[in-house]
């Protein structure tokens, strides 16, 4: 009986745990409950992923109102993969969070931290599984609002301005999305994605549809830091608490990219977006801008977390480049990079947080000589960096290879050249860390440090191992991504 309600339990369990943590008022009890909830959502997401892959799309009607009149949770191979990524990252970050939260956030507010993290998790999972456009907006705002508060809990006072900047830009993005959905609703009369997809062909006046697409692209683009709408990301990731940076870098932008994929390929369809409108070249141009300009900006940063943030903007460029190809292999490459980049950045930010705990910050002057004082952490960071570059044997290589082959298959050799050239830029900024950690002496006033505590290092190393595993045994992720692309592009009804 329980198994038929798994789609809704995926969202409801984290959602209920948040007020329970607030009522409980204890940071430790909040942490225990969060870990339990993360474990249960990971199990639920795995079960749903298996079921969606084996038996096809799962449909769940909230309140038993049949779609398209009611809100429908519709889980196919694409959003099951995204939900699995989000819950897996949550499961790995939460054990890590306890020590970093105790170090960075005051005792009296820790229970609020865990409550907000659970709300953010519920929001992200809700975005993944819902099949209703306005319900997606509600979950988008749930996750975004809790994110703004989580970022504002950072130690530095600049966390507050970062949170404010993200709030203004993020709310503008969500409102632009609502305008786009409004235009779609006025044209088709429905809010259900599957129903919209089937009705869109019959609409005669296509100008509101094109306007809706533009609004939605700009709105969702603000949410996933599409270049040049990325201004909020460096500050937000740098000044947020370490556990928050790790969780957000791995999940928040990826879920928003999934929203774009859902709207482009399932609702509008490849023809409307890439053949009738020039979105392919526009998106490709912006992606190349992200890949080169953001990666170049990463090279000159003085703070490790800020470097990783700019690197994220560049890596998201690869994902949108895959989308801009407008083909199934391109979309599969983009989906594969969603997963691979998620686990890579999660690992890197967790390692950066472990370094911050031990040396007191992430500025490069403090991280000098880390290769000697924290050898395991530094080496794991280098492995993550290799994945960002795309060295064979790491997750980044698998998805970049898929992207290059998809581009060559479509005859766009210049895209392949761009991917390879920007990987050189990634090499430059990863080299900055290697040079700092291995070729510089520790600062004179450095405290005697060792590795970070095991409950912080172990989750980070688990994700680093996953990065290597996804590089050496790339087919599970690539197959799942190909199935996801097929589910996104296929006709749902």
Partner 1 sequence: MTAAFFGHFTYWASIFLLMAGLYIVIARGNLVKKLVGLGIFQTSVYMLYIAPGKLIGGTAPIVGEGFSVYSNPLPHVLILTAIVVGVATLALGLAIVVRIREAYGSVEEDDLLEADAKDD
Partner 2 sequence: MRKDIVLRVVGKILIPFALVFALYVQFHGDFGPGGGFQAGVIIAAAIIFYGVIFGLAASRRAVPEALVESMVALGVLIYAGIGVAGLLLGGNYLDYFVLDHDPVHGQHRGIFWVEVGVAVTVSGVMLKVFYLFAGRGRDLEE
User: Smallest gap, in angstroms, from Cβ of residue 123 to partner 2?
Assistant: 13
Torsion 41-61-58-218 (CA) sign? negative
Binding mask 145-184 for partner 1 (x = CB under 8 A): x--xx--x----xx-xx-xx--xx--xx-xx--xx--x--
SS3 state of residue 480: helix
Residue with smaller CB distance to partner 1, 25 or 158: 158
Among positions 30, 37, 41, 60, the unique one binding partner 2 when judged by CB under 8 A: 60
Instruction: Specify the stretch interacting with partner 2 by CB under 8 A; choose among 57-65, 190-198, 340-348, 373-381.
Output: 57-65
C-alpha–C-alpha distance, residues 413 and 285, integer Å: 15
Q: How wide is the angle at C-alpha 181 spanned by C-alphas 175 and 187, nearest 5°?
A: 145
Helix ranges (H only) for 360-446 are 370-373, 375-389, 395-409, 413-438
C-alpha–C-alpha distance, residues 137 and 423, integer Å: 35
Q: How many residues bind partner 1 (CB under 8 A)?
A: 25
User: Smallest gap, in angstroms, from Cβ of residue 214 to partner 1?
Assistant: 13
Contact between 14 and 122 (Cβ < 8 Å): yes
Q: Does 138 bind partner 2 (CB under 8 A)?
A: no
| Among 21, 60, 24, 52, CA closest to 38 | 21
All residues at 6 or more sequence positions from 431 whose CB lies less than 8 Å from its CB, including other chains: none
Instruction: Specify the stretch interacting with partner 2 by CB under 8 A; choose among 58-66, 98-106, 264-272, 347-355.
Output: 58-66
Instruction: List the single partner that 20 binds among partner 1, partner 2, none, CB under 5 to 8 Å by kind.
Output: partner 2
User: Smallest gap, in angstroms, from Cβ of residue 382 to partner 2?
Assistant: 44
Instruction: List the single partner that 178 binds among partner 2, partner 1, none, CB under 5 to 8 Å by kind.
Output: partner 1
Instruction: List the single partner that 410 binds among partner 2, partner 1, none, CB under 5 to 8 Å by kind.
Output: none
Which residues in 177-216 contact partner 1 (CB under 8 A)? Answer: 178-179, 182, 185-186
User: Smallest gap, in angstroms, from Cβ of residue 62 to partner 2?
Assistant: 6
C-alpha–C-alpha distance, residues 316 and 337, integer Å: 9
Instruction: List the single partner that 157 binds among partner 1, partner 2, none, CB under 5 to 8 Å by kind.
Output: partner 1
User: Smallest gap, in angstroms, from Cβ of residue 371 to partner 2?
Assistant: 46
Residue with smaller CB distance to partner 1, 76 or 132: 132
Contact between 294 and 220 (Cβ < 8 Å): no
Which residues in 124-143 contact partner 1 (CB under 8 A)? Answer: 134, 137-138, 141
Among positions 20, 39, 376, 462, the unique one binding partner 2 when judged by CB under 8 A: 20
Instruction: Specify the stretch interacting with partner 2 by CB under 8 A; choose among 9-17, 99-107, 356-364, 414-422.
Output: 9-17
SS3 state of residue 301: coil
Residue 65 structure tokens: 């109102």
Go through 340-366 and write b for each residue having 16 or more CB atoms within 10 A of its CB, e for each that does not: bbbbbbbbbbbbbbbbbbbbeebbbeb
User: Smallest gap, in angstroms, from Cβ of residue 216 to partner 2?
Assistant: 27
Residue with smaller CB distance to partner 1, 255 or 406: 255
Residue with smaller CB distance to partner 1, 148 or 274: 148
Q: How many residues bind partner 2 (CB under 8 A)?
A: 15
Q: Does 15 bind partner 2 (CB under 8 A)?
A: yes
Residue with smaller CB distance to partner 1, 189 or 450: 189
Contact between 242 and 100 (Cβ < 8 Å): yes
C-alpha–C-alpha distance, residues 62 and 57, integer Å: 16
Residue 392 structure tokens: 């064979």
3-class SS letters over 213-236: HHHHHHHHHHHCCCCCCCCHHHHH
Query: Which helix (DSSP H) or strand (DSSP E) does residue 61 occupy?
Result: strand 58-61
- Asked, as a colleague might, if the bond just before 228 is cis with ω within 30 of 0, I would say yes
User: Smallest gap, in angstroms, from Cβ of residue 16 to partner 2?
Assistant: 5
Residue 388 structure tokens: 């960002």
Instruction: Specify the stretch interacting with partner 2 by CB under 8 A; choose among 61-69, 139-147, 212-220, 381-389.
Output: 61-69
List residues near partner 1 by CB under 8 A. Answer: 134, 137-138, 141, 145, 148-149, 152, 157-158, 160-161, 163-164, 167-168, 171-172, 174-175, 178-179, 182, 185-186
């Amino acid at each position: 009986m329980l198994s038929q309600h798994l789609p809704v339990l995926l969202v409801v369990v984290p959602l209920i745990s948040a007020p329970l943590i607030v009522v409980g008022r204890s940071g430790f009890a909040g942490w225990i409950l969060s870990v339990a909830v993360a474990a249960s959502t990971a199990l639920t997401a795995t079960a749903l992923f298996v079921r969606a892959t084996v038996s096809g799309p799962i449909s769940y009607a909230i309140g038993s109102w049949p779609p398209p009149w009611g809100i429908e949770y519709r889980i196919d191979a694409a959003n099951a993969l995204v939900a699995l990524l989000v819950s897996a990252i949550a499961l790995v970050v939460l054990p890590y969070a306890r020590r970093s939260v105790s170090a960075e956030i005051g005792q009296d507010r820790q229970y609020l931290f865990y409550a907000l993290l659970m709300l953010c998790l519920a929001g992200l999972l809700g975005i993944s599984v819902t099949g209703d456009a306005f319900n997606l907006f509600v979950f988008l705002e749930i996750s975004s609002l809790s994110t703004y508060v989580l970022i504002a809990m950072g130690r530095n006072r600049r966390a507050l301005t970062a949170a404010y900047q993200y709030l203004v830009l993020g709310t503008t993005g969500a409102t632009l999305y609502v305008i786009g959905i409004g235009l779609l609703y006025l044209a088709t009369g429905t809010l259900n994605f599957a129903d919209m997809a089937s009705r869109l062909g019959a609409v005669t006046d296509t100008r509101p549809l094109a306007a809706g697409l533009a609004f939605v692209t700009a709105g969702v683009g603000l949410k996933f830091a599409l270049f040049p709408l990325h201004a909020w990301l460096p500050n937000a990731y740098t000044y947020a608490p370490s556990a928050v940076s790790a969780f957000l870098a791995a999940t928040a932008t990826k879920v928003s990219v999934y929203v774009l994929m859902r709207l482009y390929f399932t609702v509008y369809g490849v023809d409307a977006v890439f053949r009738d409108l020039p979105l392919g070249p526009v998106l490709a141009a912006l992606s190349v801008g992200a890949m080169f300009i953001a990666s170049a900006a990463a090279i000159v940063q003085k703070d490790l977390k800020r470097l990783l943030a700019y690197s994220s903007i560049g890596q998201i460029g690869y994902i949108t480049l895959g989308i801009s190809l407008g083909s199934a292999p391109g979309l599969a490459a983009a989906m594969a990079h969603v997963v691979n980049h998620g686990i890579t950045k999660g690992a890197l930010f967790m390692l950066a947080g472990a370094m911050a705990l031990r040396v007191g910050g992430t500025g490069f002057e403090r991280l000098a000589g880390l290769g000697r004082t924290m050898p395991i952490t530094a080496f794991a960071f280098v492995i993550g960096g290799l994945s960002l570059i795309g060295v064979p044997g790491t997750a980044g290589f698998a998805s970049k290879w898929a992207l290059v082959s998809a581009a060559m298959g479509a005859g766009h050799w210049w895209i392949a050249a761009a991917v390879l050239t920007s990987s050189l830029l990634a090499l430059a900024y990863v080299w900055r860390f290697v040079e700092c950690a291995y070729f510089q002496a520790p600062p004179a006033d450095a405290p005697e440090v060792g590795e970070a505590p095991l409950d912080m290092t172990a989750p980070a190393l688990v994700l680093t191992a996953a990065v290597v595993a996804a590089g050496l045994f790339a087919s599970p992720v690539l197959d799942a991504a190909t199935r996801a692309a097929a589910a996104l592009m296929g006709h749902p009804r």
